[in-house]
Amino acid sequence: MALEQYIQEKPKAVIFELDDVIYPKRDYLLQVYYLFAQFLEYTETHPPATELVEFLKKSYEHHGEEGLFAKAMAVFGIPGDYETNFERLHHQAHLPVELLLYPEVEAFMQQLREAGTPLLIFTPGEPLMQLNKLKHIKWNGLDRVLRAYFEDELTQRGEEPLAYVLRELGIEASETVYVGKDGPPKAYGGRYLGIDTVLGNADR
């Protein structure tokens, strides 16, 4: 991502997506899988945690998250009741290792912070799970100036999410930089074409 040029342009706010934009989502999920495998081995004694972690890791890396528990259940004979635990960990896991920001993104954020530019996280997905991710990121002081907005929560309240964020900040789309995987023009039907968009890197 070519981010440095936006320091000179002095936007009134920079909005970042979360997963695979400011940190690798993979780092969160693999720790969730590790915790689930450890829990299951302790509770049922089978399958061995190392085998289950390796299976979940490879399945995720090759085929993504969808249907992952069902695949593991079929291979290892895991009782279906444990799917609730699997899903709960996605939302509430206390991770053993902090999540690290992409170095170039953290450097950009720190420069924006020093310039006094408002920093926002704007994320789709289940709000409790996204909040849990935010809690486990190593922010190096950035959390003191960040504001987070959850797209699904705003939608449930009947708001148009990005319009709500801009309205709350009191700024125009043209005064904003949006850092994301796709960018708001695609996500919002072209209504925010005035926002400068920087495309991030999906890390999976």
Distance separating alpha carbons of residues 189 and 144, to the nearest angstrom: 33
Mean pLDDT in the chain?
88
Under 8 Å between Cβ of 142 and 114: no
63-93 residue pLDDT tens: 999 999 999 999 999 999 999 999 999 999 9
Task: Please give the DSSP secondary-structure letter assigned to residue 122.
Answer: E
The dihedrals phi and psi of 26, each to the nearest 5 degrees, come to -55, -40
Per-residue tokens: 47: 């399958």
Please indicate, yes or no, whether the overall pTM of this predicted structure exceeds 0.85: yes
**Residue type at 200?**
G
Distance separating alpha carbons of residues 42 and 48, to the nearest angstrom: 9
pLDDT of residue 164 exceeding 50? yes
CA contacts within 13 A on the Cβ side of 84: 2
